[in-house]
Structure 1
Amino acid sequence: MHRGRVVFGTMEEVVFGRPAAMAIVEQTDRLRASRAFLMVSGTLNRQTDEIDRIRKALGPRYAGTFDAMPPHTPREAVIAATNQARAADADLIVTVGGGSITDGAKAVQLCLANDVGTVEGIDQIRAVKAVAPPMTAPRVRQISVPTTIAGGEFSAIAGVTDARTKVKEMLRHELVVPRAAILDPAITMHTPEWLWLSTGIRAVDHCVEGICSHEAHPYADAQALKALSMLAEGLPRVKADGRDLDARMDCQIGTWLSMGPLASGVPMGASHGIGYVLGAEFGVPHGYTSCVMLPYVMRWNKPANAERQALVSAAMGHAGEDASEVLDNFIRGLGMPRSLGEVKIGPEHFDRIAEQAMATPWIPRNPRKIDAPAQVREILVQAA
């Protein structure tokens, strides 16, 4: 008998297949916003006319642009964006860019609501052991136009890195999830191929760890299995032809569905746990952490969840085959890195990574029980 609970997020709309500038204006009308503050990719702002087009479409409702968010969302940049949004008297944040920008805006919402104006001030709003402290709910909310496909715009969690400790910390509040996500495949044409494909594997990782969790349930499975088949088909099509907008749209919708498990309360596992550390401490790009770790984590977990892993192989069109091998072949086929060595992480770091991974929210929820850093190290040794 199934037991559990499904959490429904507070996102109100997902708009797909419409030009971003037009959809942003429609959402601004719907939300009756008059001071739209843009948090956007620096590359898109400086090297394309996409952001200008959005500014022009917003007209008098445009309130300012922040375009200096580094990868992994450092606290310093969150505070800079917060201070700029506060000075602009923003009543809506519009993000156009990758996951670091989306997460940055979620953090800005909490900083604005809780009068946080310094790097140290973020201490008072960060979650400890995945539990958020009491805080004022965000009043200035966000809408998001993602240009990568890791899926963070569909979650109520933000990862923010503390440069002093090199730890990626979690901020969470049910209202930080964007009020709307706008999926426009055309604006993603500027995203570098490696970034699109690797964040696509991040979305695959959300599907796979959701399906393989001991806390999986039918509501999450339905979305994750459909997502996995769309991503398994769509990502190679984008690699074959970067101008294929239908394939890009399939990847975007697959990414949206891939967040079904995490957004509804199913935990992730060791691939996400180890990935947090590789990103925050060693600067490994978000997507690459999944490319390297996911198949090895699957192999290590197989004694605990072989029948769930069989669902993964089937959804990817390889029924009856070993899921870790199916994933390995798929990731290699996209030309992505498959070992820690390829992302410049040597064995001398394994003890520290294992130690830090134990403190992430996901290692304790891995389907095969992990009691000590030595077990994380076993996975890292395989991934060397």
Structure 2
Amino acid sequence: MNHLNCLPQDAVLWGENILAGALPQLAQQGIDRPMLFSVAPLEALARQHVEPHLAAIAGRVLDLPAHVPDVAVNAALEACLRADARAIVGLGGGSVLDAAKAVSHLHHQRTGRHLPIVALPTTLSGSEFSHYFGITETTGAQKFKRSYAVRETTPKRVLIDPVLVRDTPRALLLSSAIKGIDHAVEGMRKVTPSHPHAIMAASGVERFFRVLQKWPAKVETRQALEAGLVSDADLLQLQLGAWQCYFSPASVIYGLSHRIGHILGGSFGLPHSATSCITLAPVIRACAAFYGDKLEALSPGGAGAAERLADRIEGVVQALGLPSRVGDFDLDRAKLPEVSALLTHNYPEEVADLGADASARLDALLERLW
């Protein structure tokens, strides 16, 4: 039986320079007294393009580190409770939006009420469209990023505007685009090639590739814009690609590329945006026997769709100068057995995508990623 599970998302608004018109309408839509969740590097963006258009805010939470550590989530929750916040406006990438979802969830546990979220994404990972979030547990012997899926934490409204990504650091913006493609690819694991996810994701992948393949080397986003090498229209295409690649999150399930990323990021500190650059193409090849034939939907051309798509992703990562090896980061190679053990223990179904003798295949894959 085919299925399309829908999330309780009220609206997605997109276009160039829409924030000034869309933000003042939030109060009329039941989003009042919001707490602004963001990070310090985005303060100028918040003060220039967000806060002037909000009727009133309850306060600001800016201490939201990558990988959503539990201590930061608990501190943000307490800030919302003290300020009597009634909503959250999340300005940032996946970690900020994950923190907003986590706080909304915990707020419900404390008060019986979820805090509605308005998402203003500054990266291309797509967290703004989903009910998934992770919290990194920091109190045990080994940090672990635990995943949650809570429908009620899905951002109620998403505002997509190129102004939000104009100053996102180049490496973060472009690597988050690969994370977006990761959603498209791994979303194929449990659906048919005719599923709405496949149709939308195919369009999203092509949007991404069209822009990424012409992106200038070694030039920050703002400088590329000022030089006329890319345009706001290109940025909007990337943002729409992220949406299409993750158009039906409730109908898809993460795969091994994401799970390796969760371990490398949450437990060992690699940048979350960079992990798909390292893992996606090798995982496509390693899992080709399991769902590679479905990737024809994303990479038309007959037999060999998995290899064709992996080559294309690998080529873009290399051309953009994005990280492609675990060894590019400060992680001791001797830790790879720990990575393998955490994956096997916590994500056995995803590891099973590797097929027969999955444990040995996983170890070999991690060595290749190094």
Q: How does 1:170-181 map to 2 (within 5 A)?
A: 170-181=147-158
The match for 1:220 among 183, 188, 197 is: 197
Render the CA deviation track for 1:334-378: whole Å, top value 9, x for unaligned: 111111111233431111101111244585376443765433212
| 2:126/2:246 contact within 8 Å kept | yes
- Identity percentage of aligned residues: 26
Q: How does 1:206-245 map to 2 (within 5 A)?
A: 206-211=183-188, 213-216=189-192, 218-239=195-216, 242-243=224-225, 244-245=231-232
1:276 Cα deviation from its structure 2 partner: 0.7
| 2:344/2:351 contact within 8 Å kept | no
The match for 2:137 among 156, 162, 167 is: 162
| 1:351/1:373 contact within 8 Å kept | no
The corresponding residue for 2:228 is none
1:73 Cα deviation from its structure 2 partner: 0.6
Distance 2:203 2:314 in 1: 20
- Aligned positions, number: 354
The corresponding residue for 2:95 is 100
Computed over aligned residues only, the root mean square deviation of the Cα atoms, in angstroms, reads: 2.3
Distance 2:348 2:28 in 1: 39
Distance 2:311 2:216 in 1: 20
The corresponding residue for 1:13 is 11
Instruction: Indicate whether 1:328 and 2:314 are aligned.
Output: yes
Change over 3 Å in CA distance of 1:294–1:63 after alignment to 2: same
Change over 3 Å in CA distance of 1:149–1:232 after alignment to 2: same
The corresponding residue for 2:51 is 55
Task: In structure 1, give the amino acid aligned to 2:163.
Answer: A
Task: In structure 2, give the amino acid aligned to 1:161.
Answer: T
Distance 2:298 2:268 in 1: 30
Q: Give structure 2 stretches of 5+ with no counterpart.
A: 226-230
The corresponding residue for 1:81 is 76
SS in 1 for 2:287: helix
Change over 3 Å in CA distance of 1:98–1:239 after alignment to 2: farther
When normalised by structure 2's length, the TM-score is 0.88
Distance 1:365 1:166 in 2: 20
The corresponding residue for 1:202 is 179
Change over 3 Å in CA distance of 1:340–1:139 after alignment to 2: closer
| 1:267/1:362 contact within 8 Å kept | no
The corresponding residue for 1:26 is 25
| 1:238/1:248 contact within 8 Å kept | no
Distance 2:96 2:5 in 1: 25
| 1:269/1:362 contact within 8 Å kept | no
1:237 Cα deviation from its structure 2 partner: 4.1
Instruction: Indicate whether 1:247 and 2:249 are aligned.
Output: no
Change over 3 Å in CA distance of 1:64–1:373 after alignment to 2: same
Distance 2:156 2:61 in 1: 20
| 2:285/2:307 contact within 8 Å kept | no
Q: How does 1:298-337 map to 2 (within 5 A)?
A: 298-314=284-300, 322-337=308-323
372-381 vs 284-293, which moves further: 372-381
Task: In structure 2, give the amino acid aligned to 1:252.
Answer: Q
Change over 3 Å in CA distance of 1:41–1:140 after alignment to 2: same
The match for 2:245 among 228, 252, 258 is: 258
Distance 1:7 1:362 in 2: 24
The match for 1:148 among 111, 123, 142 is: 123
Task: In structure 1, give the amino acid aligned to 2:42.
Answer: L
When normalised by structure 1's length, the TM-score is 0.85
Instruction: Indicate whether 1:193 and 2:193 are aligned.
Output: no
SS in 2 for 1:24: helix
SS in 1 for 2:120: strand
| 1:20/1:182 contact within 8 Å kept | yes
Instruction: Indicate whether 1:267 and 2:242 are aligned.
Output: no
1:139 Cα deviation from its structure 2 partner: 3.0
Distance 2:147 2:306 in 1: 38
Distance 1:362 1:30 in 2: 43
Change over 3 Å in CA distance of 1:15–1:91 after alignment to 2: same
Change over 3 Å in CA distance of 1:353–1:363 after alignment to 2: farther
Change over 3 Å in CA distance of 1:370–1:289 after alignment to 2: farther
| 1:291/1:336 contact within 8 Å kept | yes
282-291 vs 363-372, which moves further: 363-372
The corresponding residue for 1:91 is 86
1:305 Cα deviation from its structure 2 partner: 3.4
Distance 2:349 2:314 in 1: 22
Task: In structure 2, give the amino acid aligned to 1:71.
Answer: A
| 1:276/1:360 contact within 8 Å kept | no
Distance 1:79 1:21 in 2: 32
Distance 1:319 1:354 in 2: 27
